[in-house]
Structure 1
């Protein structure tokens, strides 16, 4: 499996992603936090997932529910300074934590938008917004490949471990560039590959929906940002993963592995292959 996918494969992957994150939202709506970023799948204990754990200051979260619903691999709100009056867009906003944190920082005159394709996540985000009492946050249904916003409409684009899930990353970055105003900034947290994965791992759908096998290499990420029109593209690694982390992540996808691949093989194949990162770029004035 690679980023070059035929239409059927792309449709199937998008549906697998939607189903996985819908399940996570349903768990949280039912009172159980669900973690899906990382091949460990949707579970009730986000602290057990090294990709999602310990990314936010709990005291600064708008609500405990919003914090528990976070499924990212970083904290994009620490990536960039936001000012009152700015407009911010979160690509794949999920339960809304980063939108709500951003909305506080751009209040009272700025707006924080979140776009997500999953109806269950949008319901969860609206519930979290209401519980936090935040009025300048807006959640929109749509895909990150076809954003429901006009040209030159936001000052900052953020995202948290979502772009790696797209089967058309060139389109995502072109859309991000389109909606940014001149002088706007792109600042996302994402998983990046440090080397190519072996083909046997690339065929495991759970590793795509788990944020790994669909990730770009650092070089490809920067090149795609430049091709989309961005300047000053940088990738800063923020977290790499130990063998213990990988055993925790890989063990729960044992049933999805091909017959030729054991959990030990998967851990060996993933070791040193990926990391969490901050990715930044600018749109010229």
Structure 2
């Protein structure tokens, strides 16, 4: 995929999630918000501990905590964090000695978790604007990297995986919940920026 095409797709994804940031309902062919988190078996205690505006804007496609839960003291990165639900839950699980960063390329999506963070007493969490294909972190910074419904939106997946792998400490784990296609995708769908951003 050429650079111009990749940038067109990135812009389409940012535009979609700009509109999603206000109200996620109606933008996806699956449930969102608290209903979705409960269906995906997020712990009710976690959802009660996370600010309601964050839970209500959740648009993840899976539960990465079913793959691996962060341990106390770990450093965790949530790529494509969106509203920040997985980052907030991770901050609860790593405790005061751990650190969590949420990374998203859409400033409008980051508005919600940053606003929620300013109102709560969480000191081990930050939200950073940036790209999954060029994350603004030092190499070998994280024990665990989460991705929830984000990799399918990335035009240059090879680059994203290489960069994320470089952020893992030795023995670190990458846990992803995502949408995958098991059949060939028609060329007209591959060429449609709207199809990439859904």
Q: What TM-score do the two structures reach when normalised by structure 1?
A: 0.63
Q: 1:98 corresponds to which residue?
A: 86
1:236 aligned residue: none
Of 93, 106, 115 in structure 2, the residue corresponding to residue 127 of structure 1 is 115
Distance 1:36 1:12, change over 3 A: farther
Distance change (3 Å), C-alpha of 1:186 and 1:18:
same
Aligned to 1:54: 39
User: What aligned pairs does 1:206-225 form with structure 2 within 5 A after superposition?
Assistant: 206-210=194-198
Decide whether aligned partners of structure 1 residues 111 and 163 sit closer, same or farther in structure 2, where only a CA change above 3 A counts. Answer: same
Note if contact 1:39-1:206 (Cα within 8 Å) is conserved in structure 2: no
In the TM superposition, residue 133 of structure 1 has moved relative to its aligned partner by: 3.0
Alignment partner of 1:164 is 2:149:
no
Q: Give the whole-Å Cα distance in 2 for the aligned partners of 1:37 and 1:77.
A: 24
Equivalent residue number for residue 263 of structure 1: none
Q: Give the distance between the partners of 2:27 and 2:67, measured in 1 at CA.
A: 20
User: Partners in 2 of 1:36 and 1:99 — Cα distance?
Assistant: 24
1:58 and 1:69 map into 2 onto residues whose CA distance is 16
Higher relative contact order (CA 8 A, sep 6+): 2
Of 10, 15, 19, 1:14 maps to: 10
Specify which of 118, 130, 147 is matched with residue 106 of structure 2. Answer: 118
RMSD (Å) for aligned C-alpha atoms: 2.2
Tell me how far 1:67 sits from its aligned partner. 1.1
Alignment length (residue pairs): 194
Q: Give distance in 1, aligned partners of 2:121 and 2:64.
A: 22
Q: Distance in 1 between matches of 2:55 and 2:166?
A: 30
Contact 1:114–1:139 (CA under 8 A) maintained in structure 2:
yes
1:34 paired residue number: 24
Query: In structure 2, the residue corresponding to 1:186 is in which secondary structure?
Result: strand
Displacement of 1:53 in angstroms is: 7.6
Structure 1 spans left out of the alignment, 5+ residues: 28-32, 211-285
1:154-208 superposed Cα distances (whole Å, 9 cap, x missing partner): 1001011001101110111011111100010011111111111222333332221
Q: Which structure has the larger Rg over C-alpha atoms?
A: 1
Instruction: Work out whether residues 20 and 36 of structure 1, in 8 Å CA contact, stay in contact via their aligned partners in 2.
Output: no
- The Cα offsets for residues 43-85 of structure 1, whole Å up to 9 and x where unpaired, read as xx737x98x8822344421122111111110111232032111
Alignment TM-score, normalising by the size of structure 2: 0.89
**CA 119–126 in structure 1, closer or farther in 2 if over 3 Å, else same:** same
